[in-house]
Chains A and B, each alone.
Chain A
Amino acid sequence: MPLSVQETEVKNPPVSRPPLDPHLKALENEAIHIFREVAAEFEKPVMLYSIGKDSSVLLHLARKAFYPGRVPFPLLHVDTTWKFKEMIRFRDEIAEKYDLDLVVHTNPRGKAEGITPFTHGSALYTDIMKTEALRQALDAGGYDAAFGGARRDEEASRAKERIYSFRTPDHKWDPRNQRPELWNVYNGMIKKGESVRAFPLSNWTEVDIWRYIQAEDIPLVPLYYAAERPYVERDGMMILAEDPRLKLLPGETIRRGMIRFRTLGCFPLTGAIRSTASNLEEVIAELEIATVSERQGRAIDRDQSGSMEKKKREGYF
């Protein structure tokens, strides 16, 4: 039990870093406050863990919030079976290293029916393997609160999202029926079957996430850093070509080049960018002059305009 303390005195824990700058410190304090409040007020919280950089920050904050205790809820990973292999390896290592309860769920119906992003299109695939799968997992676990890593700066429809986002018993998000949030006094009272999604990173921006990862030395899936990797170009995206399930279409060839990913999801739907930024410092430097918002790489957002808002109502995060 590396994280619990048996003696009365808490010894200086393993790390001692220079203090965070006041800006990141304020964001960290706010996130820890939210974690503790949800853990105290809800019966069965869970943390949605997507293995990406935001999830990694979220997990780090959860560990800080409950130290010297263990993280008092499980992590839930919805595995579409189309994640990057490196993500799955990383997930299992982290769960082991930090003594976490990890719940992995795959939609059995989708699996049985052979739903893939190639055969069924990204919209249907996402619907079944992500949205429906998440609902199944949340119902199965009986969770009444789910932490997510969404940020308000990510997308226009999220700008008005609450820290506690209310969901009906069938996981619907009703924009008409969100509660006003004043100060940092959150209303955690819900009826049976209702639940909340709680977003401790609401007020963080992409740059904050990266600067925090740097300041706190948070481990990430190596795909965020540039390396020479095989890829194919498809629909204007560079798709990683290392999984045998990726079948080349006529005219496509596997190329190699220095690429990295700004977001991580299902490999067939996640486009890489050309980059030589092979470590954190270089990624941040690149970001500071970057002119493209991070969600651009995600096929899901481009399927239809206002798609996130629609997805949310259906229960996608």
Chain B
Amino acid sequence: MTATATSTSATILPFAEPAKAARDTRPLRLITCGSVDDGKSTLIGRLLWDTKAVKEDQAVTLARDSGQQNDLGLPDFALLLDGLQAEREQGITIDVAYRYFSTDRRSFIVADTPGHEQYTRNMATGASTADLAILLTDARAGLLEQTRRHATIAALMGIRQFVLAVNKFDLVGYDRAVFDKISHDFRELALSLGVRQVTAIPMSALKGENVVYAADTAMPWYDGPTLIEALELATVRSTQAGGFRLPVQRVVRPGESFRGYQGTVAGGSVKPGDSVVILPSGTVANVKQIVTFDLVRNAAVAGDAITLVLDRQVDVARGDMIVSLDGQPMTGRHFDAQVVSLQPGGIEPGKRYWLKSSSRRQRVSVEPVSQLELSTGIWQPHASTLHMNAIGKVRLAFEEQAIFDPYDQNRSTGAFILIDPDTLNTVAGGMITAKRGEIGGIHQSQEGEGQRVLLSLPADLAEQIMASELFAARRDETEIKRMTARQAAEVFRDAACDI
């Protein structure tokens, strides 16, 4: 039994690293994706109902409005989501609605996007803040092209945890072979998109099996988690590991001598005494204080809204980024990105847009390079307008220095929106992939083929040199790699061989 149970277990790779002791209790943001009639409304309604997010008066309205009660005597859950239903009736643009429910372990924010019209645009919007995607499929149909499309968009937007809800399992006689086939196919699909945290769950949203309550009687062979268990175990993506990032939202000067820089930490952590660089100027300073309303803190991490005080008078304005000396973001005027086109006018080649990333807004021109064919996952060359719902690779050219991290390393400092200068509407969401002119990860100097010197220095000496104004002023032309003394010796040995 144990052996077969393992082979049919839904959890392909565990969600939480076993080493991680404390459960993550931050709210989990997720998105649900499915084609029309896969049962998405029923599933969300079921989640709200079984976690008791539906109040009695809402339930009464629901019972009254439910024309067709289903065979279980329960109301039509889809009606709970009437925010979108009303739009549907009025023929208004259907887009993203947010739902809330919680268990005693965690709370959840669901971005609910309709499966049919404008799905790329809406899915991209809902997925941009999501940590996990629930992909729905009708057990009778298996994986469809739609599933591939949804999974592709979710992966593109940086979601690294998938749950496949193999729904309507009651309609296939709870047949384990059906589940094994679908979950196997899905695993392949997810892996091809670089997503390794995958759970497939056989369920009936209608009957509430394996959603919040386990379905031991109907599916005794299934020993994986219920949907809610999988969601409770999921992790919230955090960027606490990388370098410190504080995009400055505003400067606060309540009195003559106090000057604080307010913003939300977008990566890494900071503590008093840390050396920081202000970008794009390159000025170096040390952190003096981290101020919040509650107490003067001795550290702040990604996600914290703080006020930072530096140890010296420096020029810092909204749109600047305060970063750690070590592991700085990319600065430059040319970047590669992926964009999702959100408006009927599309993204036009050569047009100057406003680009907003974190608190920084600047002019940019955009050149499309290729477009993603969602049905095959292939990027086709495409240099003309990217129409609404298109996903494209583009080159960005700025008029002044821009500051980014690659999106796959930091979902805050790697993300941006494009704003049309005429309508002022948001016309695209974008993700930075790389700085242009980067070849094999080595920055080219701005002069192109100039001479370079590789130095290998003790870390403390390098630290002092990097803290100098001279260095900071030309930071953009340098490349820094930290390594052990042994690795450095190898690099130098290899370099000697090449010459």
Contacts and interface: CB of A to CB of B under 8 A. Distances in A.
A26 B57 CA distance: 30
A182 B57 contact: no
Nearest to A185: B417
A192 to B, nearest CB: 11
B99 interface: yes
Interface string B247-267: 001101111111010111000
Contact of A69 (B106, B254, B296): B254
A247 interface: no
A47 to B, nearest CB: 16
Contact of A64 (B26, B84, B102, B293): B293
B289 A180 contact: no
Contacts of A203: 27, 98, 100, 109
Given A22-B26, A157-B83, A189 B107 contact: no
Interface in B399-439: 411-412, 415-417, 419, 424-426, 429
Interface string A26-65: 1111001100110110000000000000000000000111
Contacts of B260: 68
A253 interface: no
A160 interface: yes
B385 interface: no
Contacts of B256: 6
Mostly helix, strand, loop or mixed at chain A's interface?
loop
A184 B412 contact: yes
Contacts of B415: 182-183, 185
Given A36-B249, A187-B417, A292 B57 contact: yes
A64 B306 CA distance: 10
Contacts of A63: 293
B83 A68 contact: no
A306 B318 CA distance: 41
B297 to A, nearest CB: 10
B68 to A, nearest CB: 20
A245 interface: no
Interface residues of A, number: 69
Interface in A190-244: 190-191, 202-203, 205, 207-208
B92 A292 contact: no
Contact of B92 (A176, A179, A207): A176
B125 interface: yes
A15 B294 contact: yes
Chain A CB within 10 A, most for which of B121, B124, B425: B425
B295 A7 contact: no
A296 interface: yes
A188 B55 CA distance: 35
Interface string A77-91: 000000000000000
B263 A36 contact: yes
Contacts of B99: 153, 159
A206 B342 CA distance: 33
A93 interface: no
A251 B82 CA distance: 40
Nearest to A203: B109
A181 B416 contact: no
Nearest to A290: B55
Contact of A160 (B57, B95, B121, B124): B95
A40 B426 contact: no
Given A26-B27, A296-B57, A67 B292 contact: yes
Given A29-B305, A175-B92, A8 B318 contact: no
Nearest to A204: B100
B10 interface: no
B358 A67 contact: no
A37 B359 contact: yes
A62 B82 CA distance: 32
Nearest to B127: A182
Contacts of A36: 249-250, 262-263, 305
B56 interface: yes
Nearest to A305: B61
Contacts of A69: 252-254
B204 interface: no
B307 interface: yes
Interface string B277-310: 0000000000001011111100000011101010
Interface in B303-355: 303-305, 307, 309, 318, 342, 354
A159 B97 contact: yes
Nearest to A296: B57
Contacts of B254: 3-5, 68-70
Nearest to B99: A159
B96 A40 contact: no
B199 interface: no
Given A23-B25, A183-B411, A187-B419, A8 B58 contact: no
Given A10-B289, A68-B252, A180 B429 contact: yes
A180 B249 contact: no
A70 B304 CA distance: 20
Contact of A292 (B56, B263, B359): B56
Nearest to A207: B102
Contacts of B97: 159-160
Chain A CB within 10 A, most for which of B96, B106, B107: B107
9 contacts: A13-B295, A182-B124, A182-B429, A183-B128, A183-B411, A183-B429, A187-B425, A189-B419, A205-B102
Given A156-B82, A180-B342, A182-B128, 6 more contacts: A3-B254, A21-B25, A23-B27, A152-B100, A159-B98, A290-B55
Interface of A: 3-13, 15-17, 21-23, 25-29, 32-33, 36-37, 39-40, 63-70, 152-153, 156-160, 175-176, 178-185, 187, 189-191, 202-203, 205, 207-208, 290-293, 296, 306, 309
**A-B CB proximity, top 7 nearest:** A291-B56, A32-B305, A4-B254, A293-B55, A159-B97, A182-B128, A64-B293
